[in-house]
A and B are shown apart, each in its own frame.
Chain A
Amino acid sequence: MRHTLAQALDDCITRIRRDGDSIEHCLAAHPQHAAQLKPLLVLAQRMTAETAPAARPDARQRIDRRLDQLLATHRAPLWSRIFPPAAYRLALGSAVAMVVLAVIAFAGAGIAAQQAVPGDTLYGVRLATERAEMAVRRDAPLTEHQRLSTRRLAELRALVERGDTVNGAQAAKRYEAEHQALLRAAAAAPPVQAEAAQRLAAAQVIELAALRDRTGATAAPVSELLARLGSQTPPALAVAKSGDASTAEAARAAPPPASSQLPAPAGHAPAARYAGVFVQLLSTTAAAERAGVITAAQSAELTVLLSSASTLNIGGEHAVVATAVGRLGAALAACVAGGCATQAALTPLIESVHASALALGLPPPPALMVQSSPPIAAPRVAASPAARPAATTPVAAPRSAATSAPPAPTRVVTGSQPVPAASGAAAAPPVPAAGSGPVNVATPSGTEAAAPATRAATPPPAAMAPTTITATPTATPAPVPSPPAATAGPASQPTAAR
């Protein structure tokens, strides 16, 4: 019913407005609804555009002004003003595609950047990635500087080894900055973390010295870096920070370092002092190699340095000492082969090489043989007996024991390699290596630095050549520790036979 009424009403409204029909005429067409429709049609007839409430005369101007104000204060969104709808969709699609491509490209570049070094195009990416990593990881500053100094050192090593001195100098400066930042962070860190950081810094300096000695002509950035680091560190490091000829001469001329200059193996000695021992060891070794002779002073110095380095037990420096042991073995061999006039002074060093190898769990120099020779009247370490580590066996051994011993050749054979005949020495049953001298390199605390049984043996340095050395019969009758199995001989072999 209501629907019918509504249709009749709409029919009449349409007829009246479009066709000009009258209300009565239309109601005649719907007589059953006429009573209800008439008042509604009258109302509808009064409601037209012409009968609408009139606007104010200035309404249009007011609306215009108001709209201007609104448009001025309600700007369309920037993206909407810049991009029309179609262009916006196209731009949005393009932007998404570009972002995807950029992510892929950036990931690839990031992987490549990890291998970048100063001078490479992607090195900036690597630095940016590092900063992003730092922001994300939020590690302690000390941890970050440990990580970054290691990276900077690796970059420097890569450049120096490829002979790029220009970018190597840049890398050296970057490493120097990171090295100093590491030491500053260590100074502000708790003792345990500080010691670890200082040892890392020391190990890095040691590696730098080894790098300098290994690379030779292209090591100028490293030499300069070590000089700068040395000027900032205690004298122990500064003494042997350079490997050039003049410094080598100075090293030869310099008296062996006093024991007081050496770092204490325990406690929290500064990193530079730790590093100084190893750098000095390598530098003195290099100087001896270049000179082709080992002076008595050098021998004494190297002996002290090697003993100290062996007992410092700094994690990660075993390789450095092993390198030193190998190179010293080769230098000793060269010295002896070249008619080294000061071979009498070499015995403590030879003993120290053996002891260091043992202390570090390294196999002793494989072919280093100490063969007895007619006694030499000279004192074992004539130049500086005081340079012997205090905890080692007495230097002033009674000569009577040696001189009273029969001149039968005594050789110390380490390893199982055959001993080359030298000086007419006859083969003899091996004797414990300890018989050749004091191998018990004592730590300052007085405990023997015997190698832990669990240490893995490191292959002998390649530089080690079979060497026959005529040892002075001045070995002291010091207590002989149990030798390693590899060098163990018949227990009945008296050490006094020397």
Chain B
Amino acid sequence: MQQDRLLDVKDDEPPATGGTVIDGTLRRAMARDQSAFGALYEAHVERIHRHVRYRVTDPNTAEDITAQVFLRAWQAIDRYRPVEGRPFLAWLFTIANNLIVDHHRRGGRVTTGIDPARHAATTENPEEAAVNADLQAQLAAAIRRLKPEHQLIVSLRLIEDMEYEDIARVMNKKPGALRVTLFRALAALRDDLSKRGIRP
């Protein structure tokens, strides 16, 4: 289970807001401390980029959206209101989701798959690696064909391994409803792949 690392590091300073435990880095970033925000960026940029990659095909667009997520975060960091138990990462995912939705709304949906060759290098058997890479690419493409809500729950719950409580704050749904949403998302993904003759 991955945790929001920054929330695990506590300062000796008192909490900035009543009853909410905020780590010193986040508190300094909220005071527009650039070095503190840089630390948050280092901690979360890979996960955000991965999340975006799952939902946006074009690498340039994914990188641009990732950068946009942190730009928006920096612009609004002083308005960020920490909530007990909600990781800062959930807020970043919320921003990322909004940007991705906007991107697709503007006609940026791209159905081209991810370059399978990049996945081949991680496996020992070249033939198996090629099959896996192709399957992963087909899977990623299928995920991008899901409706945004299903994309988000798949990404946050399965790829980012977030708890339902955290996902609930990002998606503004109750955990029980999110479980049903995840089930439907996986069923839709299965149906999409089945229609294309792909068996995971």
Q: Do A and B come from one complex?
A: yes
Per-position 1/0 for A46-89, Cβ under 8 A of B: 11110111111001101100110111001010001100111010
Q: Which residue of B lies closest to A84 (CB)?
A: B31
* A53-B53 CB under 8 A given contacts A6-B179, A43-B186, A43-B200: yes
| A296 interfacial contact with B, CB 8 Å | no
Stretch at the interface among A7-15, A415-423, A442-450, A466-474: A7-15
A/B interface sample: 26 pairs, CB < 8 A? A3-B180, A9-B182, A10-B164, A10-B183, A40-B183, A40-B190, A43-B200, A47-B154, A48-B158, A49-B50, A49-B161, A52-B53, A52-B159, A53-B118, A55-B49, A60-B49, A62-B60, A63-B49, A63-B63, A63-B66, A67-B67, A71-B74, A76-B32, A80-B75, A84-B31, A85-B79
B182 touches A53 (CB 8 A): no
| A214 interfacial contact with B, CB 8 Å | no
Q: A98 — which chain B residues lie within 8 A by C-beta?
A: none
| A2 interfacial contact with B, CB 8 Å | yes
Stretch at the interface among B3-11, B88-96, B100-108, B133-141: B133-141
CB distance from B145 to the nearest CB of A (A): 14
| B78 interfacial contact with A, CB 8 Å | yes
Cα separation A56 to B59 with both chains bound (whole Å):
8
B54 touches A44 (CB 8 A): no
| A42 interfacial contact with B, CB 8 Å | yes
CB distance from B74 to the nearest CB of A (A): 7
Cα separation A455 to B11 with both chains bound (whole Å):
91
A13 touches B158 (CB 8 A): yes
* A52-B186 CB under 8 A given contacts A59-B63, A62-B63, A76-B74: no
Q: B186 — which chain A residues lie within 8 A by C-beta?
A: 9, 40, 43-44
- Chain A interface, >50% SS class: helix
Q: B190 — which chain A residues lie within 8 A by C-beta?
A: 39-40, 43
Cα separation A280 to B55 with both chains bound (whole Å):
98
CB distance from A3 to the nearest CB of B (A): 6
The count of chain A contact residues (Cβ–Cβ below 8 Å) is 42
Cα separation A71 to B77 with both chains bound (whole Å):
14
Q: A55 — which chain B residues lie within 8 A by C-beta?
A: 49-50, 53, 59, 62
B137 contacts which of A3, A53, A71, A88 (Cβ < 8 Å)? A53
A6 touches B136 (CB 8 A): no
| A147 interfacial contact with B, CB 8 Å | no
Q: Which residue of A lies closest to B75 (CB)?
A: A76
Per-position 1/0 for B147-165, Cβ under 8 A of A: 0000000100111110010
Q: A67 — which chain B residues lie within 8 A by C-beta?
A: 41, 67, 70-71
CB distance from A47 to the nearest CB of B (A): 4
Q: Which B residues between 100 and 132 are near A, CB-CB below 8 angstroms?
A: 114, 118-119, 122
| A211 interfacial contact with B, CB 8 Å | no
Known: A10-B164, A43-B139, A85-B78. 10 other contacts (CB 8 A): A5-B183, A6-B182, A13-B158, A39-B190, A44-B186, A46-B136, A48-B159, A70-B67, A80-B32, A84-B32
Q: Which residue of A lies closest to B113 (CB)?
A: A53
| A184 interfacial contact with B, CB 8 Å | no
A53 touches B31 (CB 8 A): no
B59 contacts which of A3, A6, A59 (Cβ < 8 Å)? A59
Q: Which A residues between 267 and 321 are near B, CB-CB below 8 angstroms?
A: none
Cα separation A266 to B31 with both chains bound (whole Å):
79
A2 touches B74 (CB 8 A): no
Q: Which residue of B lies closest to A59 (CB)?
A: B63
| A18 interfacial contact with B, CB 8 Å | yes
* A53-B54 CB under 8 A given contacts A40-B183, A46-B139, A67-B71: yes
Residues of A that sit less than 8 Å from B by CB? 2-3, 5-7, 9-10, 13, 17-18, 39-40, 42-44, 46-49, 51-56, 59-60, 62-63, 66-67, 69-71, 74, 76, 80-81, 84-86, 88
A74 contacts which of B46, B75, B157, B161 (Cβ < 8 Å)? B75
Per-position 1/0 for B9-30, Cβ under 8 A of A: 0000000000000000000001
Cα separation A18 to B2 with both chains bound (whole Å):
11
Q: B139 — which chain A residues lie within 8 A by C-beta?
A: 43, 46-47
* A74-B159 CB under 8 A given contacts A52-B50, A54-B114: no
| B68 interfacial contact with A, CB 8 Å | yes
Cα separation A51 to B53 with both chains bound (whole Å):
12
Q: B136 — which chain A residues lie within 8 A by C-beta?
A: 46, 51, 53
Q: B160 — which chain A residues lie within 8 A by C-beta?
A: 49
Name which of A42, A70, A81, A86 has the most chain B CB atoms within 10 A of its CB: A70
Q: Which residue of B lies closest to A70 (CB)?
A: B71
Q: A81 — which chain B residues lie within 8 A by C-beta?
A: 32
Cα separation A290 to B111 with both chains bound (whole Å):
111
| B170 interfacial contact with A, CB 8 Å | no
B50 touches A66 (CB 8 A): no
B180 touches A6 (CB 8 A): yes
| B176 interfacial contact with A, CB 8 Å | yes
* A66-B67 CB under 8 A given contacts A52-B54, A54-B118, A55-B53: yes
| B36 interfacial contact with A, CB 8 Å | no
* A60-B45 CB under 8 A given contacts A46-B200, A76-B75: yes
A43 contacts which of B62, B71, B157, B189 (Cβ < 8 Å)? B189
| B64 interfacial contact with A, CB 8 Å | yes
Cα separation A51 to B133 with both chains bound (whole Å):
9
Those 9 A-B pairs whose CB atoms lie nearest each other, nearest first: A66-B67, A53-B114, A6-B183, A67-B67, A6-B179, A40-B186, A85-B78, A70-B71, A54-B118
Cα separation A76 to B72 with both chains bound (whole Å):
10
Name which of B46, B70, B186 has the most chain A CB atoms within 10 A of its CB: B186
Cα separation A50 to B179 with both chains bound (whole Å):
23
Q: B50 — which chain A residues lie within 8 A by C-beta?
A: 49, 52, 55
Cα separation A54 to B113 with both chains bound (whole Å):
12
| B187 interfacial contact with A, CB 8 Å | yes
Q: B78 — which chain A residues lie within 8 A by C-beta?
A: 80, 84-85, 88
CB distance from A254 to the nearest CB of B (A): 84
Q: A39 — which chain B residues lie within 8 A by C-beta?
A: 190, 200
A18 contacts which of B1, B74, B119, B164 (Cβ < 8 Å)? B1
A47 contacts which of B49, B62, B159, B180 (Cβ < 8 Å)? B159
CB distance from B154 to the nearest CB of A (A): 6
CB distance from A289 to the nearest CB of B (A): 81
Q: B135 — which chain A residues lie within 8 A by C-beta?
A: 46
Q: A60 — which chain B residues lie within 8 A by C-beta?
A: 45-46, 49
